[in-house]
Structure 1
Amino acid sequence: MFKMTRRTTLRRMTSAMLAASLGLGFTAAAHANDTIKIGILSLTSHSPSIIAAGKGYFGEQGLDVEFVSFQAAQPMAVAIASNDIDFGMTAISGGLISLAEKGAIKIIGGALQETPEIDGQKILAAKAAYDAGLTSPDKLVGHSFGVTTQGSSFHYMAHKIADKAGFDRSEIRIVPMQKVPAVIAALKSGQIDAWSIVPNIAGALTKGPEVVEIGKVSDYIDNYQVTTVFTSTKNVTDHKDLVKRFLAGLAKGIDDYNAAYVDKTLGADDVAAISEMVHKYVYADQPMDKAAPRIAAGAMRINRNAKLNLASVEDQLKWFQSEKLVPGGVTMDDLVDTEFVETF
Structure 2
Amino acid sequence: MKSLTRRATLAALGGALATPYLVRSARAGTAVNVGALRFVSHAPSFIAFERGYFQEAGLDVNFDFFEAAQPMAVAIASGDTDYAMTAISGGLISLADKGVAKVIGGALTEEKGISGQKILASNAAYEAGLTSPAELDGKTFGMTQAGSSFHYMGARIAAAENAELKFKPLQKTGAVIGAIKSGQIDAWSIVPHIAKPLADAGAVKIIGEVADYIPDYQVTTVFTSAKTAADEGEQTRAFLAALSRGAEDFNAALVDKSASEEEQEAIVALLAAHIYPDRALEDARAPIVNGAMRINAGLSLNRASIMDQLDWFKSENLVKADIAYETLVDESYVEARS
Pick aligned residue for 1:37 from 33, 38, 48: 33
Once the 2 structures are TM-superposed, how far is the Cα of residue 166 of structure 1 from its aligned partner? 2.7
TM-score where L is the length of structure 1: 0.88
Q: Which amino acid aligns with 1:202?
A: A
SS at match of 1:264: coil
SS at match of 1:223: coil
Give, in whole Å, the separation in 1 of the partners of 2:80 and 2:30: 15
> Could you tell me which residue of structure 1 aligns to residue 300 of structure 2?
307
> Could you tell me which residue of structure 1 aligns to residue 107 of structure 2?
111
**Cα pair 1:111 1:229 within 8 Å, conserved:** yes
Once the 2 structures are TM-superposed, how far is the Cα of residue 34 of structure 1 from its aligned partner? 8.1
Asked if residue 293 in structure 1 is aligned to residue 286 in structure 2, the reply is: yes
TM-score where L is the length of structure 2: 0.89
> Could you tell me which residue of structure 2 aligns to residue 192 of structure 1?
185
> Could you tell me which residue of structure 1 aligns to residue 95 of structure 2?
99
**Cα pair 2:119 2:190 within 8 Å, conserved:** yes
Q: Which amino acid aligns with 2:141?
A: F
Please give the per-residue CA displacement for 1:72-130, whole angstroms capped at 9, x wherever unaligned. 00000000001111100000111100000000000000000000010000001011111
Give, in whole Å, the separation in 2 of the partners of 1:271 and 1:68: 26
Please give the per-residue CA displacement for 1:234-281, whole angstroms capped at 9, x wherever unaligned. 111111111100011011100001011101111222222222222222
> Could you tell me which residue of structure 2 aligns to residue 332 of structure 1?
325
Asked if residue 165 in structure 1 is aligned to residue 158 in structure 2, the reply is: no
Give, in whole Å, the separation in 2 of the partners of 1:209 and 1:218: 23
> Could you tell me which residue of structure 1 aligns to residue 14 of structure 2?
none
Identity of aligned residues (%): 53
Once the 2 structures are TM-superposed, how far is the Cα of residue 58 of structure 1 from its aligned partner? 1.2
> Could you tell me which residue of structure 2 aligns to residue 16 of structure 1?
none
**Cα pair 2:30 2:62 within 8 Å, conserved:** no
**Cα pair 2:89 2:149 within 8 Å, conserved:** yes
Please give the per-residue CA displacement for 1:296-336, whole angstroms capped at 9, x wherever unaligned. 21110000000000110010011111111111121111100
Asked if residue 250 in structure 1 is aligned to residue 248 in structure 2, the reply is: no
> Could you tell me which residue of structure 2 aligns to residue 13 of structure 1?
none
**Cα pair 1:284 1:291 within 8 Å, conserved:** no
SS at match of 1:214: strand
Q: Structure 1 residues 210, 56: CA separation in 2 closer, same or farther (over 3 Å shift)?
A: closer
Give, in whole Å, the separation in 1 of the partners of 2:301 and 2:230: 19
Cα RMSD, aligned residues only:
1.2
SS at match of 2:240: helix
> Could you tell me which residue of structure 1 aligns to residue 65 of structure 2?
69
> Could you tell me which residue of structure 2 aligns to residue 156 of structure 1?
152
Once the 2 structures are TM-superposed, how far is the Cα of residue 165 of structure 1 from its aligned partner? 1.6
**Cα pair 1:106 1:337 within 8 Å, conserved:** yes
SS at match of 2:301: coil
Give, in whole Å, the separation in 2 of the partners of 1:162 and 1:185: 23
Number of residues of Structure 1 aligned to a counterpart in Structure 2: 309
> Could you tell me which residue of structure 2 aligns to residue 120 of structure 1?
116
Pick aligned residue for 1:129 from 121, 125, 137: 125
> Could you tell me which residue of structure 2 aligns to residue 182 of structure 1?
175
Give, in whole Å, the separation in 2 of the partners of 1:34 and 1:194: 40
Q: Which amino acid aligns with 1:142?
A: G
Once the 2 structures are TM-superposed, how far is the Cα of residue 199 of structure 1 from its aligned partner? 1.1
**Cα pair 1:34 1:62 within 8 Å, conserved:** no
Pick aligned residue for 1:316 from 309, 317, 321: 309
Give, in whole Å, the separation in 2 of the partners of 1:211 and 1:292: 20
Structure 2 unaligned runs (5+)? 1-28
> Could you tell me which residue of structure 2 aligns to residue 26 of structure 1?
none
> Could you tell me which residue of structure 2 aligns to residue 59 of structure 1?
55
SS at match of 1:63: coil
In terms of Rg, which structure is larger?
1
Q: Which amino acid aligns with 1:51?
A: I
Structure 1 unaligned runs (5+)? 1-32
Q: Which amino acid aligns with 2:262?
A: D
